[in-house]
Amino acid sequence: MRVGDTLGNAHAQVLALAPGVVATALSLDPAAGYVLSRIDGRTTWGTLRQIGALPPHEVDQLVESWLKDGVLVASGASAIKTTRDARGSDSAAQQPPKKPPAAHAKPATPAPPPPSAAKPKALSLPEVDASLDLDLDLQREILAFAAGLGRRYHELLGVAADADARTVKKAYFALSKRLHPDRYFRRNTGPFGALIETCFKRLLEAYELLSDPTTRKEVQEAEAAAPPPPLTTIDAEGAASARARGLDARRRLRERVSAMSSRARAEGERRRKAKTFFEHGMTAFAGSRWLEAAGAVRLAIAFDPENSAYREEFPNVQRKAHEERAKQLVKQAEGALEMRDYALALDTFEEALHYRPGDADLAFRTARLAVQASGELKRAKEFAAQAVEVAPDNAEYRKMLASVYAAAGLEANAKREFSAALRIDPSDKEAKAGLRSLS
């Protein structure tokens, strides 16, 4: 195999995320996301195979597809070319195996705007002013915070990168006491008023993103991929000499100009790539290859996250892909049922339900399986409640939910659902019996 031959050398290569790629838009499963998060411009492909998140051959598959799609760049070019040749064009947009996180009850929406896309706005910072109704230390504190608004979110909150939710919240509350505009209600805060509000909004953003495990992971990946812009330092004392400032300014300007031109080049490249993916996706869509189409459009968005045409198309493509995926999964689950592998069947049904949340009957069957196969009442309740929510006028679903509640000892809820079932069908014997057994 040519692939195997070339890969031997390829493993010595150092991998890095291609400039401008927004990793969060890729929508990976946690294992693939972990692999991607290890890629930092220093780690070699060989090391990556040994980190243990996935078997080595699966790591290879991921890296190959990322290299081919241009998500990654390797420090040497030869292997990339070979691997690209080695793979059929048909799999051009194949996605890494994707298993949705079970916690997501609603169908995945397009990825939220990546945090790294938040452009650090040029803030003009006011001078410390003794005539304001804010003491000077507080003014300096606010200025320092404002100057660091471009920092990473956890730095903004002053917590460790791996701080737990409780610590994040504590830090947010403590900073809110200093930075919430209500603290300075009707005080003469001059130009600090608007600044305080800006700071609080950014603080809120940091807290919101870091307190939800999903967005937090995205933030971490994005931050690992793109180092934060250098801090603007505040010259609160005004001590630096004018000469030093002049030199500094010229140096910064040079850096900025060169950064801007290379960024513009990379930007054009990125957009072209995105366009290719998108067109490929539309071709696949026209040819009813839904999963492939979804993968390609997703990549297009990853390369050009600001193009709303791609984002707008994505839900359609994704819906089709979800339908397809759900169909496959239901089939698999029914296979597992026949093999009497109930645990697998339940998991697979649940996954299918994730892609087809509006299918009440599927939810009902999943609920029944959860009760019968594993007695997992909490899961069963979720599924049964989903069925009832989708089809509130179905007495069967209500009774199922009621009996799950009853089994869990939630009598009031059980009664409510049995009564609801009775309202739908006043002659329903099971519901009557259920109610009697509760009272």
Partner 1 sequence: MSRVIGIDLGTTNSCVAVVENGQVTVVPNSGGYKTTPSMFAITQDGKRLVGHLAKRQAITNAKGTVTAAKRLIGRRFDSDEVQKSISLYPYEIVRGPNDDARVVVGGKTFTTPELSATVLREMRRVAEEYLGEPVKEAVITVPAYFNDAQRQCTKDAGKIAGLEVLRIVNEPTAAAIAYGMSRPGKDEKIAIYDLGGGTFDISILELSDGVIEVLATAGDTFLGGEDFDRRIVEHMLAWFQEKEGIDLRGDAMAMQRLKDAAEKAKCDLSSRETAEVNLPFIASDDNGPRHLSFQMTRELLERLVHDIVNGTLKTVEQCMLDANIQAKEIDQVILVGGQTRTPLVQQAVADFFGKRPHKGVNPDEVVAVGAALQGESLVSEDQNLLLLDVTPLSLGIATFGGHFAKLIERNTTVPARKGHIFTTTRDNQTAVKIRVLQGESDTAVENDLLGEFVLNGIRQARKGEPEVEVTFDIDANGIVSVSARGLATGKEQSITVNATGTLSDDEIQRIIRDQELFEVALKE
Q: Binding-site residue total for partner 1 (CB under 8 A)?
A: 25
Listed ranges 170-178, 217-225, 295-303, 332-340: which one lies at the site for partner 1 (CB under 8 A): 170-178
- φ/ψ of 288, rounded to 5, equals 60, 20
The least CB distance from residue 41 to partner 1, in Å, is 29
Contact flag: residue 217 with partner 1 (CB under 8 A): no
Helix (H) or strand (E) holding 427: none
Structural contact between residues 229 and 150, judged by C-beta atoms closer than 8 angstroms:
yes
The least CB distance from residue 93 to partner 1, in Å, is 21
Instruction: Please give the structure tokens belonging to residue 14.
Output: 């150092």
Question: From CA 15, how far away is CA 7, in angstroms rounded?
Answer: 14
Among 137, 162, 182, 237, binds partner 1 (CB under 8 A): 182
Q: Where are the alpha helices (DSSP H) in 226-340?
A: 242-286, 290-303, 308-338
Contact flag: residue 278 with partner 1 (CB under 8 A): no
Among 47, 308, 372, 374, binds partner 1 (CB under 8 A): 308
Tell me if residue 7 falls in helix, strand or coil.
helix
For partner 1, the closer of residues 122 and 412 by Cβ is 412
Within its chain, how far is the Cα of 18 from the centroid? 19
Listed ranges 256-264, 294-302, 307-315, 357-365: which one lies at the site for partner 1 (CB under 8 A): 307-315
Contact flag: residue 257 with partner 1 (CB under 8 A): no
Tell me if residue 311 falls in helix, strand or coil.
helix
Structural contact between residues 111 and 25, judged by C-beta atoms closer than 8 angstroms:
yes
Listed ranges 28-36, 195-203, 330-338, 361-369: which one lies at the site for partner 1 (CB under 8 A): 195-203
Listed ranges 4-12, 140-148, 176-184, 226-234: which one lies at the site for partner 1 (CB under 8 A): 176-184
Structural contact between residues 298 and 25, judged by C-beta atoms closer than 8 angstroms:
yes
Residues whose CB falls within 8 Å of the CB of residue 102, separated by 6 or more in sequence, listed in order:
350, 351, 354
Question: From CA 61, how far away is CA 386, in angstroms rounded?
Answer: 37
Contact flag: residue 164 with partner 1 (CB under 8 A): no
The least CB distance from residue 348 to partner 1, in Å, is 25
Contacts of partner 1 in 85-144 (CB under 8 A): 113
* Residue 58: count of CB within 10 angstroms of its CB: 16
The least CB distance from residue 99 to partner 1, in Å, is 22
Contact flag: residue 276 with partner 1 (CB under 8 A): no
- Rg of the chain on CA atoms, in Å: 28
- φ/ψ of 74, rounded to 5, equals -105, 160
Among 306, 323, 361, 393, binds partner 1 (CB under 8 A): 306
For partner 1, the closer of residues 196 and 352 by Cβ is 196
Long-range pairs for 47-55: beta carbons < 8 A, 24 or more residues apart: 48/15, 49/11
Question: From CA 162, how far away is CA 154, in angstroms rounded?
Answer: 9
The least CB distance from residue 412 to partner 1, in Å, is 4
Instruction: Please give the structure tokens belonging to residue 314.
Output: 């994505």
The least CB distance from residue 30 to partner 1, in Å, is 20
Among 43, 94, 167, 176, binds partner 1 (CB under 8 A): 176
Listed ranges 20-28, 74-82, 171-179, 355-363: which one lies at the site for partner 1 (CB under 8 A): 171-179
Contacts of partner 1 in 313-342 (CB under 8 A): none
User: Which stretches of the chain bind partner 1, using CB under 8 A?
Assistant: 113, 169-170, 173, 176-177, 180-183, 185-186, 197, 200-201, 204, 208, 306-309, 312, 411-412, 416
